Amino acid sequence: MVDWTIQKYGKLDIMFSNAGIGSKSPQTILDLDVSQFDRLFEVNVRGMAICVKHAARVMVERHIKGTIVCTANVIANNCRGSTNATDYIMSKHAILGLVRSTSQQLGTYGIRVNSVSPAAVPTSKRTNEEIKKTFGPFTSLKDISLTVKHIADSVLFLASNDSAFSLAMTWWSTVG
């Protein structure tokens, strides 16, 4: 992916690392399915770390003052965690650790590392009505639904010069 980008565009100055899967069944600590846990961490954590590693190496080697944005999740920023998605929340906490650590390591090269932490958005697997039913009581902005475009706009902001002051920041994309 990194090599292809450099071949196609001549450089890599922005990396958006957006990986995430959920478990096929509820995952409490008492019922943790280790094979699901391993698969989820392979995608959500290992995959993202590898993307960040390769993008960062190219940026450092080529003296590019770039930006890396990773996707976490708003629940990972929530102090309460989750009652049935232990593995998923753990993986998104790991992303916050990745962002915070790499931002300190790469900042000296002029490379900014931040994350976007979205709330739930409608997908082919979850409708807007289901999201409102589940999360509606916890939101303040009742007349708006979070969309993929809202999240994309957050990523574009973090990747732009408008956020040149941001390092190790987590941008919450929620409806309150």
Beta sheet of 14-17, edge-to-edge order: 14-17, 67-71, 112-118, 170-173
Active-site residue 9, yes or no? no
Give the residue among 111, 94, 123 at the shortest CA–CA distance from 158. 111
**Which helix H or strand E contains 100, and what residues bound it?**
helix 86-106
Give yes or no for a contact between 89 and 134, defined as CB atoms under 8 angstroms apart: no
The three-state secondary structure class of 124 is: coil
Q: Which amino acid is at 145?
A: S
Catalytic-labelled residue, pool 17, 74, 86, 88: 88
Distances (CA, A) of 143 to 75, 99, 131, 139: 21, 32, 13, 10
Q: Which active-site residues does the annotation give? A: 88
